Amino acid sequence: MQSFQKEADAKQEVKSPPLYVFIPLELDNGDDFTFLSAFQKISILEERIKEICSILEKEKPEAEWIILWREYGVSDGLLNTEKSISSDSRQALKAMLKKQTALYPRLTVVAGSTLTYKERTILDLKAVAKHYKEEFPHIKAREEELIGDHKKQYIENENHVNNLIRKKPLDAKIKLYANKTRVVREGKIIHVHCKVAPFKEIALTDDQAYQASKPSNRSPYIQVHDQLSLITSICREYSFDIDYVKQLPKPLFGCLLSAYIVTRVSNIHSQHGLIQVDSKYGISYVLSQKYRKDIPIVPEDANF
């Protein structure tokens, strides 16, 4: 009798899978939004998050809420001729997301990636060059198969870093850029991932370079908690870095934050599918049968 009771208690302790509610934000690509300052965009984003969470508190209080948006969704505007945001803007965005996720404990935010920079020296670039050479040979190999030099952006960025090291003094200052997405939950940044396959991130001038990730933010995989795991990929790396990604644990869902990209269904590395938010192509879903209710589905043999 005692053993039966233990078995019954054990069964009661097993958690049933939660309901997952994904909210991809299709941020406006029109001039009215594009040319706003980063602080104005952050304010709009905050109001959207609050509005969404107030609805979900009433309609889906038991669910896991995941909000995400596209690559470069928050920038300082094209008037600056860059897709980047300033250090102050970045700090304001992080503070807002920490505040909102602290207010809503069921909320996870996969923040659309932002392009930012830190001031570094040419001496610092030596570690970047080493990482380009040793960590991503598979990306370089994929690019070498492509037709058209304009598509060989990883190779071009690696060559640019090496050229700067050769021709400039080691103490010369440069701007070192990175394109990062952050996962935020319960008032904390729990994961940072840096884009490893750059594509026209910056102009390759003598005073700046792009860093294709570093060991601390190399992996796009995050175990949010025991019932939620994600892959957070940025644009073309979802295809170009797939050999590395497929060596990682298979998460419940993939999140693809992109600008002007299509990807093949065969590249999906997750248990239940992919949610993509793209600047040009909008919002796309490819999900397993379990999650295919009332959402647009891409055919298994299609691009999107």
| Residue 183 placed within a domain | yes
Token readout for 4 is 């039966």
Neighbouring C-beta atoms of residue 4, cutoff 10 Å: 8
The more confident residue out of 40 and 288 is 40
- Inside any domain, residue 225: yes
Q: Once rounded to an integer, what is the mean pLDDT over residues 24-33?
A: 76
CA angle 25, 111, 96 (to 5 degrees): 100
Q: What is the domain range of residue 190?
A: 18-117+179-197+213-291
Q: What gap in Å lies between CA 39 and CA 111, rounded to an integer?
A: 15
* CA distance readout (Å), 4 to 10, 12, 16, 136: 10, 13, 21, 54
State pTM to two decimals. Answer: 0.86
- Say which residue, 52 or 79, is predicted with more confidence: 52
Give a yes or no: residue 283 inside a domain: yes
302 in a structural domain: no
User: Identity (one letter) of the amino acid at 272?
Assistant: H
Would residue 32 count as lying in a domain?
yes
Q: Is residue 39 one of the residues assigned to a domain? A: yes
Total number of domains constituting the chain = 1
Lowest mean pLDDT among 142-156, 193-207, 282-296: 282-296
In a domain, 190, yes or no: yes
CATH number of domain containing 28: 3.60.110.10
Residue whose entry in the numeric block shows the structure tokens 């709009």: 44
CA dihedral 285, 288, 292, 295 (to 10 degrees): 0
